[in-house]
Structure 1
Amino acid sequence: MERPGGLHEDDPPGGDSVTPEHAALIDGEPLPRERVDLFLETRPVRGAGNCATSHDEPAPAIRQPEAPSVARQRRRWATQVVLTDELARRACAARGLKPPPEVSPAKILTLAESDVADLGSIVAAALAHSPAARTLLAALEAEQTVPESAVRDYYDRNQDRFLTPDALRRGVTPFDGAAPEDVLSYEDVREAISRELRRAAGRQAFFGWLDQSRASVTYSHGHEHPGDPSHPDHEHRH
């Protein structure tokens, strides 16, 4: 949020303060602040409290006033989303991957609350915002190998997930004497389990890549990670 003279509410006090031109440095290369500003301008304010869900419509022309601490955290959160996009673009280029064309800035993808719960709001929003992040995640998922033993172990430990529709209608559970015919066979569900485990492993690989990639980032004042305890408004939430 800007103050008189073009300064922002998260700028340090004093007449010599200058708004930084970049939100962060990645290996010494600037990530322009304008990209964060554009993201903030084009994503709706309304949505889930974690800031990740949104609607397929531009942000309203007039926003309700926000508390300064909320505005500061919004900018820091947005910086992480834009940063993840930039890091993913670089990773795709290094891997020879070509992401699909970008969505118009005014076209905001909707996120399922389940994705926000599984991924965290920053990663979920970055995947919705960034074709490069989605392309990289798909590549990492495709690289995962799930051993047959892991698939079988998952099936054996989660029999309640594989009850037949008839068994569910009768209220059968694996804990009160389900008959063999009440449970879908391993062969029937093996591929679905393998896909689910590969997807989970791909997400873990994405988290690992992101953590490692962010190690090379230096943030400008007001763009620190929202969970960084060095600033007073920090929230340990992703």
Structure 2
Amino acid sequence: MIGLVGGRPVSRELLDRRVRELRDGPLRAALPAPGSSEDRQMHRWMTQVILTEELCAAEAVALGLAPVEGRPLDRVAAVELGSINAAAYNGSPWVRAVYEHVTASVEVPSGWRPAPPPPAATRFLVRHRMFADSAAAGRATVRDLEPLGAIELGSLPSAIAGELRRQPYGELAGPVQDALGWHVATAEPAPAPRPEAPDLVGPARRRAFAQWLDRLRAEKLELVPGLEHPGDPRQPDNHHKH
């Protein structure tokens, strides 16, 4: 066997079959040489994946859950969940079922919420036109003006910017003259852009599920010598070569 799930032995055949499928598949050239330290680590990693699948399958049955089909995790989500958990999630509908059940009510921790952004400069929807003489400027209407989009009043010539600040929103300001000519304009406050809040629910759910799995493993999993967790510092293949 490769371990015990809630006291129930899990057959070694599950691991042997999974490894055979890998060695017969398209990634066989990238796999470590049989019998090497890296090969033993691969067996340990695969054992953890299988035991996680078996653990979640047992929990799903106990909870009366139905299997859940779904798309594989993207790279960021897989990193957040951890390689073993992500492989089990991608490979087992029972893991996905338990994931949905366990994380259904997870909320984003308050410490994760981003600080409010600094206040943005006030911008206005400005229409403006410059005329060569005061008579033409005096006859101008809103329809004669050209839209400049949402801008800060300080980006306009100071003469017309000052006049706009003194006029009620939407009313014609001017004509006012400067070295460039005669200005007429209107301004209305532009709607403040709504910053997009980052989607933190997914990361919060994945963290909660990983923590839940760690607790469940501690309660219900028993490993056998030689198939410890690949990151266990007590097993002889967990070392770095330089």
Same fold (TM over 0.5): yes
Task: Give the Cα separation in 2 of the matches to 1:122 and 1:182.
Answer: 47
SS in 1 for 2:10: strand
Instruction: Indicate how the Cα distance of structure 1 residues 183 and 58 shifts in structure 2: closer, same or farther if over 3 A, else same.
Output: farther
Q: Which amino acid aligns with 1:142?
A: A
Counterpart residue number, 1:31: 10
Match in the other structure for 1:226: 230
Match of 2:51 among 48, 67, 83: 83
Matched residues, percent identical? Answer: 35
Task: Tell me: CA distance 1:87–1:181, structure 2 relative to 1, closer, same or farther (3 Å).
Answer: farther
CA drift at 1:210: 0.9
SS in structure 1 opposite 2:107?
coil
Gapped regions of structure 1 (runs ≥ 5):
1-21, 46-56, 104-108, 160-179
User: Can you give the 5+ residue segments of structure 2 that lack an aligned partner in the other structure?
Assistant: 120-188
Is 1:156 matched with 2:116?
yes
* Greater per-residue strand proportion: 2
Number of residues paired by the alignment? 170
Matching residue of 1:185? 194
Q: Mark the structure with the bigger radius of gyration.
A: 2
Matched, 1:211 2:211: no
Indicate the SS of the match to 2:2.
strand
Q: TM-score, normalised by structure 1?
A: 0.58
The correspondence for 2:63, drawn from 95, 100, 104, is 95
CA contact (8 A) 1:227 1:234 kept: yes
Residue 71 of structure 1 is aligned with which of 39, 42, 53?
A: 39
**Superposition TM-score, scaled by structure 2 size:** 0.57
User: Separation in 2 of the partners of 1:235 and 1:183?
Assistant: 55
| Deviations 1:60-96 (CA, angstroms, capped at 9, x unpaired) | 5997734610111000000000011011111212222
2:15 touches 2:46 (CA, 8 Å); kept in 1?
A: yes
Distance 2:2 2:192 in 1: 54
- The answer to whether 1:200 aligns with 2:229 is no
Counterpart CA distance in 1 for 2:106 and 2:30 is 46
Letter paired with 2:49: V
> Which of 29, 40, 45 is the matching residue for 2:19?
40
Higher helix share: 1
